[in-house]
Chain A
């Protein structure tokens, strides 16, 4: 009985994951999607690497390449997940979603899953561009440790995305909020700035954000450090992601209960 329930919940999870992906696909069309996947990691990276190396010298290119490659995790984590959760509001499907018996946690997490895969592909593409254009040398990196870092980082940014998605259920201006969050990550995560040079209050903010430790860990691994050395960073990064995801889930539940009390399920 419990096994049966579990099996059906796994089904909901993957159907949700698959369909939010198909939804995305249909929207972009496969060729646009592919182009986005390949070229969008390039534009932002090119911009920051060129400015950064102009100011700091070409031997710093690796710093910007790694930082901006990992920013792709934030891109799909935040925008992708927000769109697939907030989309229910636009489609008017919330009454049908909240009128169904489905386990809310499964529905909720299923929406994030594909964007984790997507984010990982984005990060890897970014690193690939770094190798092609700026000849970044990854030979010292332990590939499994690097993959784990990418996975954990995409998970944690998607956790933040889940929270943002729920905010998208409540406010109309979620894209504005998302842009702000993305910008905050761009500045505070250390993607393009050496955190050690930041004022202490900014470093405190960095400490509570996803991505910061993921980027630090990726830089260490590519510089030849071992998995055990970065493991504490990864555990913390995972913890932060989990924290945001749980916060998002609580907000999701709160939204459902309040909407049913106040009658605001379809109010814009």
Chain B
């Protein structure tokens, strides 16, 4: 039996637009997604803003009723058996809200432990253990109000683990963390996986999915557009190579022009201080360089390199970079 089984899960939202002439509008956030996650697997849900990641996680954590489809967690239906699901899952939503700001870390955990019916004798040991694990022992007596974002995020991890759940949902756990904090958090996630927990993680970051997840589903506009191991997803772009050209002050028209070239699949521009980095996906590899340089005629150029595609490039291909 898989730990998580999602069958054609859907969710629409009704919103009203306009102030005087109010109209109802249906927003389809998740348009029928299906996947299975095996026990002990670390599965990534990857997608751009508004793709439907949080909405999916909310449904799977019993906080939002689906408008269609079903899902089972450890064999239990997320709607009909919601009460049985809750004690067996833990979840965090990225961001710093969701803690009692006027209480200190220990008191926050104490309250949540009681909400999960933890035996007081157990929580007495578990709380200091978790505080130690997320590195908050020294600051455990301070009000959460005075915590940094990263500290709050780590307290959330401790909160989600209080009742030692078998299945974990982590919605953008590294959001807003500095690189060191994010790295530590990823290590924590790896450790959890070593404890054979089933984990569903959402993220915007390819390298994060690549580094952590055994399988990744790429979700875009409420639909799953690809699902595989990170290396297989990378294979899917093996026919591509990426040409990177450093260029000073590239006009938008030139970028548009390059996009129309037949051997070019995708173009993006990243700003780097004084210069821009032009990233061109092409099937031609290094052969494309002369043509590209002639298009950039008259502009001052820096380094020109070709490289293998990364998972990020696969992702850009899948969600069709804006």
Give me the interface of A with B, judged by CB distance under 8 Å: 5, 8, 11-12, 15-16, 19, 22-24, 26-27, 87, 91-93, 95-102, 107, 260-263, 265
Are A101 and B65 also in contact (CB < 8 A) when A19-B100, A91-B99, A93-B99 are? no
Contact for A102 among B55, B97, B115, CB less than 8 A: B115
Contact for A261 among B61, B65, B83, B102, CB less than 8 A: B65
Task: Decide: A260 and B65 in contact? CB cutoff 8 A.
Answer: yes
Task: Decide: A102 and B93 in contact? CB cutoff 8 A.
Answer: no
Task: Decide: B116 and A91 in contact? CB cutoff 8 A.
Answer: no
Segment among B105-113, B244-252, B283-291 that sits at the interface with chain A? B105-113
Chain A residues whose C-beta falls within 8 Å of the C-beta of B75 in the assembled complex: none
A97–B116 Cα gap in the complex (Å)? 10
Q: Which residue of A lies closest to B162 (CB)?
A: A100
Contact for A100 among B58, B116, B119, B143, CB less than 8 A: B116
- Can you report 22 residue pairs joining A to B where beta carbons are below 8 Å apart? A8-B114, A8-B117, A11-B120, A12-B115, A15-B110, A16-B114, A19-B110, A22-B103, A23-B103, A24-B102, A26-B102, A26-B143, A91-B98, A91-B101, A92-B98, A93-B98, A96-B159, A101-B83, A101-B116, A102-B114, A107-B115, A260-B65
Q: Which residue of A lies closest to B145 (CB)?
A: A26
A8–B120 Cα gap in the complex (Å)? 9
Task: Decide: B117 and A263 in contact? CB cutoff 8 A.
Answer: no
Give me the interface of B with A, judged by CB distance under 8 Å: 11, 13-14, 55, 58, 61-65, 83, 86-87, 91, 93, 97-103, 107, 110-112, 114-117, 119-120, 143, 159
Chain B residues whose C-beta falls within 8 Å of the C-beta of A16 in the assembled complex: 111, 114
Q: Main SS of the interface on chain A?
A: helix
A107–B115 Cα gap in the complex (Å)? 8
Task: Decide: A99 and B102 in contact? CB cutoff 8 A.
Answer: no
Task: Decide: A99 and B91 in contact? CB cutoff 8 A.
Answer: yes
Are A101 and B159 also in contact (CB < 8 A) when A19-B107, A19-B111, A22-B107 are? no
Chain A residues whose C-beta falls within 8 Å of the C-beta of B63 in the assembled complex: 95, 98-99, 260, 265
Chain B residues whose C-beta falls within 8 Å of the C-beta of A102 in the assembled complex: 114-117
Chain A residues whose C-beta falls within 8 Å of the C-beta of B97 in the assembled complex: 91-93
Chain B residues whose C-beta falls within 8 Å of the C-beta of A91 in the assembled complex: 97-101
Closest 8 CB pairs of A and B: A92-B97, A100-B115, A15-B114, A102-B115, A101-B86, A23-B102, A8-B117, A101-B87
Task: Decide: A95 and B98 in contact? CB cutoff 8 A.
Answer: yes
A91–B144 Cα gap in the complex (Å)? 11
A94–B119 Cα gap in the complex (Å)? 23
Q: Which residue of A lies closest to B88 (CB)?
A: A101
Chain A residues whose C-beta falls within 8 Å of the C-beta of B115 in the assembled complex: 12, 97, 100-102, 107
Task: Decide: B111 and A15 in contact? CB cutoff 8 A.
Answer: yes
Contacts A26-B103, A96-B112 known; 20 new A-B pairs at CB < 8 A? A8-B114, A8-B117, A19-B100, A19-B107, A19-B111, A22-B103, A23-B100, A23-B102, A24-B102, A27-B102, A91-B97, A95-B98, A97-B115, A99-B61, A100-B112, A101-B83, A102-B117, A107-B115, A260-B62, A263-B13
Q: Which residue of A lies closest to B89 (CB)?
A: A99
Chain B residues whose C-beta falls within 8 Å of the C-beta of A87 in the assembled complex: 100
A83–B119 Cα gap in the complex (Å)? 28
A88–B267 Cα gap in the complex (Å)? 46
